[in-house]
Amino acid sequence: MVDQNGTADVLIVGAGASGAVAAKRLAEEGFDVVCLEQGDWPDYSKARAGHPDFELTAARDWSWDPNERAWTADYPVDDSDSDITALMWNGVGGGTVVYAAHWQRNMPSDFRVRSLDGVADDWPLSYEELEPHYVRVERDWGVSGLAGDTAFPPGEGPPMPPVPLAEMGKRVAKAHNELGWHWWPAPNAIATTPYGRLHACVQRATCLRGCAEGAKASVDLTYWPDAVELGAKLVTDARVKRLEVDSAGRVTGATWVDADGKERFQGAAVTLLCANGIGTPRLLLLSATESQPDGLANSSGLVGKRLMMHPFGTVVGLFEDPIGSSQGVWGQHLHSLEFYETDADRGFVRGAKWGLQPTGGPLAMTMAYPWGEENSVWGPDFHREIRRRLGHSAMWGFIFEDLPEEANRVELDPERTDSDGIPAAKIIYEMSENSNRMIAFHEQRARESLEAAGAYDVIVAPQIRATGWHLLGTCVMGDDPETSVVDRWGRAHDVPNLYVFDGSTWPTSSGMNPTATIAAMALRFADRLIETRRNQKGAS
């Protein structure tokens, strides 16, 4: 096997949000960083927002589902025993390439779920401990929004002004004021002015399908060019097969497979896993040894357990007069956290964040989601229905908090493999009764919101499976090695030079889009690694 980059100070597996933040921060401090990424750079020539073929090509070239794409960089994820399909982007930038860029900090209660609501677990840190990292990462990342949101403690806000409310946002804001409900100009990882390497957004409402403008802050555009300039080595088409361990139980590096199928080795003193809530436990399970037969760093038995994916919902309002909703940011124009905190009278614990979004172009008006098969456009009412929807509709999207349950999990697929013969992943996930009650409650409140805003008709989207954008919780963080996989700094309890920096570490899922907290946590973990570098034990 070839070790072309020598032994690095730090090996990072995965070039998504957490890997990018770690690579840049560590390279700034002079660490010799190598990142192995199984995919390639995004091909933005396929981002067709300004062209008439956009709606025809977007779902093919920017699909979120690895099983549907089945590109060489993807690995199969068997979701036949899951209520939700896992979505991801396997390439430089990771999920930020196709995320909606909703930049949501967690609220203070998200770190104290056990203390406040008597369920699940507290995080081994508080909002106040993470807040300085949110502030720093928001400057680096390129975030727009407005300080002073009454759903959060006072503090510094994002560096760019918020996106416009748009006509839909003005109507909903006024309605919420009449109802006495919270709303705030939405935080987005979208540039509203030229910012660093980002151009200003031009509101084509195509954020989820590769931003053609270079306005959405995805880490392939923001962090990675800086990290590479600082000396980090980013190796693409590099699929990690397993982590290697020495006789002392420390990770020596990773065996990986290049684009030609050739097996290689990358040595490192310290290894960071940043491969998302499915890829990271998959790799730990693949790295089982004689002394750790249930998977590396798995003495707790919790590697792969407690998978959380955020049930998702949508409610659409139809308005008589045009509101320009084929355009805008997607993204979110405003958000509401009115029903985020637990209220025991509702019959469930925890809550959801709402984001107000456009609905897109004419082809999107014909789809079963969010419109529902019972509202099919086909047939005699086609033209009336398209005109009713196109430019006349706004929708609330909800991120519902799901609580950790050990039965919801990631395993190695006993049968299927990826294109290099490495066992694929299988997920088992069942939505809970708490989630179902939460969904029903929020959908009813959203109906009231949109009706108050002037909608003459409201459509509650069907629950569909293809909504698992957020992959969390499968290498839980905690102070007790018997009940957690990594400590509060992301370090594996069982392996002193192995870290998990991605959303796998989350003890609970919050009801927020997770990228802001994944990024802030990665920065916090990286800072700690830098502070303690002299004490760090490497491989022998």
Partner 1 sequence: MSVESTAPGAPAPDPDPAIGAELKTTLAGLADVLIPAGEGMPSGGEVVVGRDALGAVLRIRPELAGGLHELLEAVRGEDPAAALGRLESDDAAAFGLLTTVVAGGYFFDRQVREALDYHGQQAVPIETLEPPDYERDGLLASVVERGPIYRPTPPE
Within 337-396, the residues that bind partner 1 by CB under 8 A are 337-338, 340-341, 361-363, 366, 378-380, 382-384, 386-387, 390-391
- The residue within the footprint of partner 1, chosen from 3, 4, 6, 56 (CB under 8 A), is 56
Distance of closest approach, residue 72 Cβ to partner 1, in angstroms: 17
> Using N-to-C axis directions, what is the helix angle for 127-141 and 515-531, rounded to 10°?
100
- The residue within the footprint of partner 1, chosen from 135, 146, 422, 460 (CB under 8 A), is 146
**How far does Cα 275 stand from its chain's mean position?**
11
Q: Does 72 bind partner 1 (CB under 8 A)?
A: no
Distance of closest approach, residue 144 Cβ to partner 1, in angstroms: 9
Residue 29 phi, psi dihedral angles, 5° rounding: -90, 10
Task: Tell which positions 104-123 bind partner 1, by CB under 8 A.
Answer: 107-109, 111-112, 115-116
Task: Tell which positions 205-234 bind partner 1, by CB under 8 A.
Answer: 205-206, 213
Residue 452 to residues 173, 263, 425, Cα–Cα distance (Å): 10, 61, 45
Q: Does 204 bind partner 1 (CB under 8 A)?
A: yes
Stretch that binds partner 1, among 96-104, 164-172, 485-493, 511-519 (CB under 8 A): 164-172
Strand residue runs (E) in 236-375: 239-245, 251-257, 263-273, 312-318, 334-336, 352-357
> Is-contact 135 156, C-beta < 8 A?
yes
- The residue within the footprint of partner 1, chosen from 60, 262, 465, 537 (CB under 8 A), is 60
Q: For residue 490, which of 297, 208, 323 has the smallest C-alpha distance?
A: 297
Nearer to partner 1, 205 or 438 (CB): 205
Q: Does 171 bind partner 1 (CB under 8 A)?
A: no
- The residue within the footprint of partner 1, chosen from 24, 182, 445, 491 (CB under 8 A), is 182
Task: Tell which positions 237-296 bind partner 1, by CB under 8 A.
Answer: none
Distance of closest approach, residue 433 Cβ to partner 1, in angstroms: 24
Report how far residue 119's alpha carbon sits from residue 208's, in angstroms, rounded to the nearest whole number: 34
> Is-contact 315 446, C-beta < 8 A?
yes
Q: Does 30 bind partner 1 (CB under 8 A)?
A: no
Q: What is the maximal distance between C-alpha atoms in the chain?
A: 73
Report how far residue 519's alpha carbon sits from residue 21's, in angstroms, rounded to the nearest whole number: 6
478-481: list long-range contacts, CB under 8 Å, 24+ apart: 478/121, 478/124, 478/507, 479/124, 481/299, 481/300
Q: Does 174 bind partner 1 (CB under 8 A)?
A: yes
Q: Please count the residues of this chain forming the interface with partner 1, following the rule CB under 8 A.
A: 74
Q: Does 161 bind partner 1 (CB under 8 A)?
A: yes
The residue type at 185: P
> Is-contact 490 501, C-beta < 8 A?
yes
- The residue within the footprint of partner 1, chosen from 184, 396, 398, 469 (CB under 8 A), is 184
Q: Does 62 bind partner 1 (CB under 8 A)?
A: no
Distance of closest approach, residue 338 Cβ to partner 1, in angstroms: 7
